[in-house]
Amino acid sequence: MKRILSLILAAMMLLGLALAVGAEEPITIGVVYKQSGNPFFEAGVRGFDEASKELGFTFIHNGPADSSNEGQIQIIEGYIQQEVDAIAISANDAAGVVSVLQTAMDKGIKVVSWDSKVEAAGRNLNVDPSVAQNIGRVQVEEIAKQIGYEGQIAILSAAATHDNQNTWIAYMKEELEKPEYDKIELVTVVYGDDLTDKSYQEMQGLINSYPDLKGVISPTTVGVAAAAVAIKDMGMSGKIKLTGLGLPSEMADHLADGTCEAMFLWNPIDLGYAAAYASIAMVKGDITGAVGEKFDAGRLGEREIMDAGDGGTFILVGDPFRFTGENIDDWKNVY
Ligand code: RAM
């Protein structure tokens, strides 16, 4: 009897072992964003969530409350310790996270940057929301139209280290060189660090320092929403025009009352969704991040990897959409 029992026990142990070996460990993505509490990134996380249900991976997500590079490094170190399969990051400092991400890549972790890129040495692929030159151009065209192609404008950006905003601002400056903008003067670029209070104060500072200011471009969802409130609080609604990149849910009231006539954004849910599909394709070995490789991005269709011109590669997700008081009701509950 004893012998039979121990045979049964041994058989059960073998079976358990076989099951454990056969069962595939789910892929885990560690998502890092610029800061916690920003609804833009919450929408991005919804894209990861949607993709996770379709592809069957798990993901964890986090961002430092203070938008710092150091905070992101700590989160990445945690992900390396947890042995995630991929890290998908919107970086606060494109250069600042290269070293820790190289450590991750040395351990076999795939690195995909999304939204705001990491320098080429610290990533396998970048997922860009849209053609950067176009993003810069449409905002200049918009503010120029609104102020009648004449007068002072300022830019209220996120942080001075944010690669996405810096790239768009460089293209705005290039656009402003065109003869049709000869009478427009860009007086300054200020930084609200994607913190609501600081962005609000910077907008107040602009109003106080430049009495002739006609328009503001704020290419950040945090900045443009804070700027709208400051403009209203200081009684400048309609006198200082405002455009930028805004989240419909945060900008609906400001569009409805005309403080902001029009602003732009791509779909942040799609951005997270595309970054998730790219990360999984990379972990599964379907792509390595090389120019010309293609992969299936679910409901978004196929994406082809292109040369980013910075020593690395990238893909594009979608186009910016122009939101106004007329169409905002269709979008304010979406993201
Ligand atoms: C803020 C962040 C983000 C940017 C959007 C437009 O939420 O700075 O990186 O893409 O604005």
Let me know if residue 16 belongs to a domain. no
Q: Is 0.85 topped by the overall pTM?
A: yes
My answer on whether 111 and 169 are in the same domain is no
Let me know if residue 191 belongs to a domain. yes
Range of the domain at 296: 28-130+268-318
DSSP 121-187: GG-SEEEESS-HHHHHHHHHHHHHHHTTS-EEEEEEES-TT-HHHHHHHHHHHHHHTSGGGTTEEEE
My answer on whether 260 and 309 are in the same domain is no
Q: Tens of pLDDT along 203-260?
A: 999 999 999 999 999 999 999 999 999 999 999 999 999 999 999 999 999 999 999 9
My answer on whether 216 and 158 are in the same domain is yes
Which of 223, 243, 265 terminates a domain? The answer is 265
My answer on whether 246 and 178 are in the same domain is yes
Query: Which CATH number covers residue 168?
Result: 3.40.50.2300
My answer on whether 241 and 285 are in the same domain is no
Q: Ligand 1 atom 3: the closest Cα is on which residue?
A: 220
Ligand 1 pocket mutation pick from 221, 251, 263, 321 by most atoms within 8 angstroms of CB: 221
pLDDT for 30 equals 98
Q: Pairing relation of β-strands 151-157 and 125-128?
A: unpaired
In short, whether 135's Cβ falls inside 6 Å of ligand 1 is no
- Return the amino acid letter for 237: S
- Measured in Å, residue 4 CA sits from the centre of ligand 1 at 66
Let me know if residue 8 belongs to a domain. no
pLDDT for 11 equals 54
pLDDT for 9 equals 54
In short, whether 221's Cβ falls inside 6 Å of ligand 1 is yes
My answer on whether 251 and 279 are in the same domain is no
Question: Both ends of the chain: CA-CA distance in Å?
Answer: 66
In short, whether 40's Cβ falls inside 6 Å of ligand 1 is yes
My answer on whether 124 and 273 are in the same domain is yes
Let me know if residue 20 belongs to a domain. no
Ligand 1 pocket mutation pick from 32, 34, 36, 40 by most atoms within 8 angstroms of CB: 40
Q: Ligand 1 atom 6: the closest Cα is on which residue?
A: 220
My answer on whether 258 and 289 are in the same domain is no
Q: Which residues of the chain have pLDDT under 50?
A: 14-15, 17-22
